[in-house]
Amino acid sequence: MAKVVVGKASEIGPGQMAHVTAGGKEVLVANIGGVFYAAGNTCNHAGAELHEGTLNGKELTCPWHGAKWDVTTGEMTWFPQKLKPIGSYKVSVENGTVYVEV
C-alpha cells in the first residue's frame, strides 16, 4: 500500500474531480461537499476515463455510454448490463494536501 499525492485540496473544489496514476492503477478523486472520495478511474464497460465524465452529487456518469457509478463506493448504480465495481480507495487530507492509498 503506497500513499500517493493527488494534489492540493484547495485546487479540487466541491463538485470537482482530479486523477492520478499510481502503482499501475488509474484513480479518480472527487470532492463531494468538501469530503474527498477516491474510486477507480477506468469504466468497466469499455474503458473510458471517468474523470472526463460528469459528477452530480456522488453520482459519476461515464462520458462514453452513460454508465452511472457511486463515487463513494465504486459500485455501479445504473447501466443496461451489470458491470463490475470500479473499486474505491482510501483518501486523506494532511496539511492541505490530498493523498490516496493505492
When the beta carbons of 17 and 67 are compared against ligand FES, the nearer one is: 67
When the beta carbons of 45 and 58 are compared against ligand FES, the nearer one is: 45
Contact code string over 80-99 relative to ligand FES, x by CB under 6 A = --------------------
Question: Which residue of 7, 48, 49, 77 would you call a contact of ligand FES, by CB under 6 A?
Answer: 48
Which of 56, 8, 6 lies closest to 26, judged by CA?
A: 6
Which of 100, 73, 102, 101 lies closest to 86, judged by CA?
A: 73
Residue 85 identity: P
Report the site for ligand FES in 53-82 (rule: CB under 6 A). Answer: 62, 64-67
Chain CA centroid to CA 84, Å:
15
Q: CB neighbours (10 Å) of residue 41?
A: 24
- Kindly report the backbone phi and psi dihedral angles of residue 50, in degrees, each rounded to the nearest multiple of 5, phi listed first: -70, -20
User: Which one of 2-10, 11-19, 29-37, 40-48 is the stretch in contact with ligand FES (CB under 6 A)?
Assistant: 40-48
Note the residues at the interface with ligand FES (CB under 6 A): 43, 45-48, 62, 64-67
